[in-house]
Chain A
Amino acid sequence: MAANSNAHHTPAPVGGNLFNTTTLVCGVLIAIMIAVLAVRFVFGLGAVTNLNDGYPWGIWVVVDVVIGSAFACGGFSVAMLVYIFNKGQYHPLVRPALLASLFGYTLAGVGVIFDLGRW
């Protein structure tokens, strides 16, 4: 095959301060998450999820499976678009999509571990 004209751009640092609004907001959310997980690991799932045997699965499963997999789907869709359907003009989207996929699957995988109830 001939050389692809849609080659990657050269990677470059994003730049800027590490402590900006986005990272600080995320940091607060992460701190809340750690607090919730601490309670979960002392008092059990019921204390933080309000689950019961009528609803053995709740919002954690939504986050693990539905949101996590939805994020991960982006990588597949874009890769399929570009590499299977050969729509080379979308190639610049591949890297962010794969990064989102990586994040999505990591979220799903790590998230489900905390939702599993028997450690």
Chain B
Amino acid sequence: MSNRRNFLKGVVAAGGAAVAATAVTTRAEARETRQRPPEALGLLYDATLCVGCKACVAACKQVNNNPAEFSTVDQLWDTPLDTSGKTFNLIKMYRSGTMETKDTEENGFAFMKTSCMHCADPSCVSACPVSAMTKDPKTGIVEYNADACIGCRYCVAACPFGIPKYQYDSPTGKIGKCELCRHRHKDGLYSACAEVCPTGATLYGKTSDLLVEAKRRLALKPGSTAVFPRGNISGGKDQSYENVVGNYLQHVYGEKEYGGTQVLKLSAVPFQKVGMPNLPPEAAAAHSENIQHALYGGLMMPLAVLGAMTFVAKRNVKHDDADGDDQKGEN
């Protein structure tokens, strides 16, 4: 009898010690929101330069071998109403009142690009249970591996921008999302959407270069004329041209949001009005991983529960000849 009692005491003590030890280590492991890698690649989308031609939407379809999607009766043109498992990039329109002037909040209109932001600390990567979504440590591109994916659609639910989309019309549906045209990089090509953009509204390059360019634009005088690059800002031939400076909000969307995204955006109409959520500088992925790792790190919570149950079981052991019920109502 005393043997078992000592054993139980030992179990409880060992459990307690393990719990204490893991509590210390998990606190040390608590991670901050991750930042962009130094060589991060991305896009700069400038809504004031966008003319709404949707050349980028067509180019994105073409290079990703995606079929047209129809929303009109005659089915003549590719007319998707939102991104989908087969539409990775879309230009959406903001409209207000009489829609007289471009890039005005009241009685105006504006464009906004919808495609993956390539977050510094992506929720989709954190949520994916099988690591089918990964972030390249060098380029920071958030990549999708269809061979690993189990189609659980966790990433769809997790992304704050609503980017990963599942193909619900197929028994073996994949997730569709922009991968920054990484399949074209080996041929020396870059993002098709930036390549075809006639006004440089979508610009490709290293995010560090794009951020400098975005800040340069914010410092220009609205209405004046300035030179704007097109295509790839971090290399390739110079395609810059002159255009009128837009009436920018003093905010580079994606500089700080969620620890920073690799796709940056400029706009004259408040970002929430054009469909970009208001996000804190800390990524949800960091929060949720910290909570989860604190609970399960080093099996801390299971050990604590086991320890508590062992303790309760030991206290409640009674002999058949013991009289009555002397428990202390632990349930």
Contacts and interface: CB of A to CB of B under 8 A. Distances in A.
Interface residues of A, number: 30
A86 B162 contact: no
Contacts of B167: 44
Contact of A53 (B146, B162, B316, B321): B162
Contacts of A42: 171
B21 interface: no
Interface stretch (B111-119, B148-156, B234-242, B260-268): B148-156
Contacts, number: 82
B318 A86 contact: yes
B70 interface: no
Contact of A85 (B151, B162, B166, B330): B330
B169 A43 contact: yes
B142 to A, nearest CB: 17
Interface of B: 82, 84, 146, 149-153, 156-157, 162, 165-174, 309, 312-313, 316-321, 327, 330-331
7 contacts: A44-B167, A44-B170, A44-B173, A53-B156, A53-B166, A57-B157, A118-B172
Interface of A: 1-5, 40-47, 49, 51-53, 56-57, 80-81, 83-86, 115-119
Given A84-B316, A85-B327, A117-B173, 14 more contacts: A2-B319, A2-B321, A42-B171, A44-B168, A44-B171, A53-B82, A57-B157, A81-B331, A84-B312, A85-B313, A86-B318, A117-B153, A118-B150, A118-B173
